Structures are given as structure tokens and as C-alpha cells.
Amino acid sequence: MITIISGSARPGSNTLRVAKAIKRIIEEKTGMKSSVIDFAPYDIPFYNGQDLQPGQLSAFQQDVADAMSRSGLIFLLSPEYNWFPSAEIINLIHRFGTNSFKNLWEDKVFATCGVSSGRGGRMPAVQLGYVVNKLLNVMNLHSVVSPKMFESQFTTKALNESGESLGNTEYDKGLEQFVDYNLTLFRKTHPEVQV
């Protein structure tokens, strides 16, 4: 299974547009089902809140845990806020990055994408890769952070609210290459999966 995490809690966000576009491309190319985690109902407590406990998760938290644990390829998308990823996606990594949830991070390929309404997206993609690599290192897990990232620039001029192309051929080509590369990497690391 493939999961696409749309790390913006804003309803109908630009990040969700990109997540829907990635889902569309995956399903057109492979026929494989993928799931999109929309952060609109986000309720993961921040660091000063309660720790997450398996068996005591909210519906949203359980959806995230189930999708990540079943997936071998996880796309992590974040809007760019002042050159940083969203607080929500960093918090998800922090709160689920514990021994209780090791299965969410083991034997996976992680692909990162930053989203902007203008020029931007690079820093969230780079920073997400950095923090996930650090987590995998500290927890001694056997997963890969893909070197192929995507910067979704001028997103509203490239994709509509359903994630359909608005005809920007350069954008479409870049997004398709990002998805293709990571599907290939997923196939190489999980040869038993038919993608």
C-alpha cells in the first residue's frame, strides 16, 4: 500500500491538491490503491500534551497509524511556512517516532515534497528528509528516505482542487518524474510487491 500524507491542517489546502495529484498519478500508472491522509481533522497533541498510546488513539490518529503501518511507500507533503514545514507534520514525526510506533517507520521508503503558492517548497522537502533520516538513524530502522524530492511551486496555477492538471507541462513533468522515481525505488526495496 502507498500512503500520501498531506501535512496542512487547512481545509482544502494546496498541499491536499498535490496529494490528490500524486494519488491520481499512482493509480493511473499502477492501478494500485493509495490513501491520502488529510490533516484537516488533525488532533495529535503537541509536545506539552499527552503521549500517544497504542489502543488509545483518536479516529484520526488511528487512521494515520494504520495507513503508515500498512504502507511500504509514504509520501510526506508539507506546505512551506516561512521556509519551514508545518508544525503539524513535524509534530506527527515527533509523536509517532517512538518505540511504541516503530512499525510505522520500519521497512519503508519515504518521499518528501514541499508545497508553495509561489516560489518555494525546497526547504520543507529538505527538512522533512533530514528529520526522518535522523529518526531512522536513532531508532536503528531499515528504511530509506528518497533522494528525489519535489518542490510544488505556484501550485494553484498547476493543479485544481481535485488534483487535476491545469495544463502546466513543466510542472506535470516534474511531478510525474517524482512519482515515477519513488515508485521505482519502492519496487527495488520491496520486490515482492507488484507495483
Write out pLDDT tens, residues 94-117. 999 999 999 999 999 999 999 999
Q: What are phi and psi of 174, to 5 degrees?
A: -65, -45
More confident residue, 77 or 118: 77
Is residue 112 one of the residues assigned to a domain? yes
Stated as kind and residue range, the H or E segment containing 137 is helix 122-138
Domain hosting residue 95, numbered range: 2-189
From the list 179, 171, 158, the residue with the least C-alpha distance to 77 is 179
Is residue 96 one of the residues assigned to a domain? yes
Contact 38, 6 (CB under 8 A): yes
Contact 83, 121 (CB under 8 A): no
Is residue 195 one of the residues assigned to a domain? no
pLDDT digits (tens, 9 = 90+) for 135-181: 999 999 999 999 999 999 999 999 999 999 999 999 999 999 999 99
Distance in angstroms (rounded) separating the CA atoms of residues 90 and 178: 22
pLDDT digits (tens, 9 = 90+) for 8-63: 999 999 999 999 999 999 999 998 889 999 999 999 999 777 889 999 999 999 99
Provide the pLDDT for residue 19. 98
Is residue 194 one of the residues assigned to a domain? no
Stated as kind and residue range, the H or E segment containing 97 is none
The model carries a pTM of 0.95
Measure Cα distances from 88 to 3, 35, 36 in Å.
Answer: 17, 19, 16
Provide the pLDDT for residue 20. 98
DSSP bridge pairs for 150: 113
Is residue 158 one of the residues assigned to a domain? yes
Domain count of the chain?
A: 1
Residue bearing cell 495544463? 167
Distance in angstroms (rounded) separating the CA atoms of residues 165 and 21: 8
Provide the pLDDT for residue 190. 87
Q: What is the mean pLDDT of residues 71-87?
A: 93
Provide the pLDDT for residue 47. 79
Question: ∠ at Cα 110 (39, 20), nearest 5°?
Answer: 45
CATH number of the domain that residue 95 is part of: 3.40.50.360
Contact 73, 186 (CB under 8 A): yes
Contact 70, 106 (CB under 8 A): no
- Name the E strands within the chain: 2-6, 34-38, 73-79, 109-115, 144-145, 150-152
Is residue 34 one of the residues assigned to a domain? yes
Is residue 171 one of the residues assigned to a domain? yes
Provide the pLDDT for residue 195. 63
Cell of 147: 533522494
